[in-house]
A and B are shown apart, each in its own frame.
Chain A
Amino acid sequence: MSVLAAAATAPSFAFVIGDHLPILQVIVPLLGAVLCALTRRGSFAFAIAALVSWSLLGVAIMLLWQVLGAAAPITYYIGGWAPPWGIEYRVDALNAFILVLVAGVGAITIPFAYRTVGKEIDEDKQSWFYALFLLCLSGLMGMAVTGDAFNIFVFMEVSSLSAYALIAMGSDRRALLAAYQYLIMGTIGATFYVIGIGLLYVVTGTLNLADLATRIGPAFGTAPQPILAALAFIVVGISLKLALFPLHLWLPNAYAFAPTFVTTFLAATATKVAVYILLRLYFTVFGGAISLSDLPIAEVLLMLSIAAMFIASILAVYEDSVERMLAYSSVAQIGCITLGMAIATRAGLTGSIVHLLNHAVMKATLFMAIGAVVYRVGTSCMSELAGIGRKMPLTMGLFVVAGLSIIGVPGTAGFISKWQLGIGAVDAGLWPLVFVLVGSSLIAVIYIGKVVEVAYFREPGDNLADARDPPASMLIPMALLGAATIYFGLDTTWSAQIADTAAQILIGGLK
């Protein structure tokens, strides 16, 4: 080839960051994880993790901005291979919302990691810790951004495997057992998911989600059994991942014994991304092809959601460890989210999607507040925490704010979600569900109230002599998310309205 011809065909430098936003959601944390693993100092690794988390939030917000301005979903072909052969990243309002949620939680909570990781993790393991955190972040972002069913599985494994290792790094030896339980349950979930995808691939010959949505319909006419089996495997597999009652048994121990920062991050993100995957596959892929109302999935989901909201809440009331109490509360709140999914109206789904954000914000605040208590006092058992509210006023103040939001007091984010879910239930003619929502909120009053009673209405014991509010690096993330709990309760421009757009996309694709 002559020099001239080579010069003519050589591509010009044309890097525009706006063209690469979907892939940057994955490779920014991935490269960050590699750099963390190559550093041997915990503080360097922390600096990398913080820079990566903050820039990732910027990239995610840019993508959301781009998506809201665009008429069609934004697509990105990895390696230039066109779908359905290549891997396509496909972003609409729903994934962009989830991406901002995950990146936002990562970016806001990362300063909280500096002190707690410094205290809980050995110095020689800290760089690995941050590498695993970024790997987990990369996996969660990848699950949300990709438009390929098998790619979802790969990223699910990336995020889960790093999450198992992160949980096992907890200072209590029981963390190992908790991580092992999660490993077994999570692997069963992922295996069920991949069996489902395998069945779909056998019947339709494709793995691209958009392509699957168009091919399942015709294939269902000739061979309905494998597709129904695939749907069953996928729903059960992902329900394990999102800790739908009664598949939640891995969750309380994993959250209670993991390092504080890991609990905060995973509680706010991991189950939320799993819910997104379920919404996407159930509504966009299967919902567009077969008539879901002929199947009993919504009824089963409804029963399990109600069971979660009551049984898990009651279990939370009887917990002495605040961390385990919050973990059971998470299972109950996930019940609220799947409740909206079972209602399957636009208002109900809006409630589900906005609760993904609202629950992430308030639960991260709660776990950080109790993490700060553990940082100062060394335990989260209520029997040891009498009078903690007087010793750590700011921390427990934020705990109460987020606790009120869990209950669903007007003016907090939790109220917006429950209101939306209530409207959805009434719209769908399922008005008794409103009483279910109020009933589970009343149980939340009991378990949050128990902590408030212990923290504020008892004399501080001798074990709390040195307890005081944590340093600013821990207090500021907590305060930011606490403020967000109030903000999302008053102004819903960025939460409920985007959730409504996303719900419209899901409902609009239904057959």
Chain B
Amino acid sequence: MKLDVILRVTTKFMLPFIVLFALYVHFHGDYGPGGGFQAGVISAAAFILYALVFGIEATQRVVPQRLLEVLMPLGVLIYAAAGLPAMVLGKTFLDYSVLAHDVKHAHEWGIFIVESGVLITVASTMLAIFYAFVERGR
């Protein structure tokens, strides 16, 4: 464990940037390539990198399995919940124009909320799949 000092230090340096890049891809999703799915994969990659270098126990202290099992459905719930205000206010499901006074802002908000749900579900599912593979045979 002493020979991998470079790996450990660089990983710690890179982690915040990976997560920051994930958020950039997420926030940029309504203008260009990107969005919740890609951002979710990138942020899950940050945790998987951490797990590869520091071990699975350390990662599971940060993100326990139980937390993942809450996050996976939570993302779907956020997505579906973003569509409900429109139904209550007399529009059809997932019509974002009710979310703010200006239609463009409302759509931006709607897409952002929906993509946040996608990010949470994708990131937690990726990590859960990784855990499932790593823990196989233990």
Q: A residues near B, CB below 8 A?
A: 1, 6, 9-16, 19-20, 23, 27, 30-31, 33-35, 37-38, 76-80, 131
Contacts and interface: CB of A to CB of B under 8 A. Distances in A.
Most buried by A among B69, B86, B94, B95: B94
A16 B91 CA distance: 10
A79 to B, nearest CB: 4
Given A37-B73, A79-B94, A9 B80 contact: no
B73 A34 contact: yes
A31 B96 contact: no
A445 B50 CA distance: 64
Contacts, number: 69
B40 interface: no
Band of interface residues on B: 20 to 34
Contacts of A38: 70, 73-74, 77
Q: Which label, helix, strand, loop or mixed, suits the secondary structure of the A interface?
A: helix
Interface in B15-51: none
Interface of B: 69-70, 72-74, 76-77, 80, 83, 86-98, 101-102
Contacts of B101: 1, 6, 9-10
A51 to B, nearest CB: 17
Contact of A15 (B70, B88, B94): B88
B90 A23 contact: no
A6 B96 CA distance: 17
A76 B94 CA distance: 12
B95 A80 contact: yes
A79 B89 contact: no
Nearest to A36: B73
Closest A-B pairs by Cβ, 9 of them = A14-B90, A37-B73, A80-B95, A79-B94, A23-B93, A11-B89, A34-B73, A34-B77, A15-B88
A78 B90 contact: no
A19 B90 CA distance: 9
21 contacts: A6-B101, A11-B91, A11-B98, A14-B90, A15-B87, A15-B88, A16-B90, A23-B92, A27-B83, A30-B80, A33-B73, A33-B76, A34-B73, A34-B80, A38-B70, A38-B74, A38-B77, A76-B93, A79-B92, A79-B93, A131-B73
A134 to B, nearest CB: 11
Contact of A12 (B83, B90, B95): B90
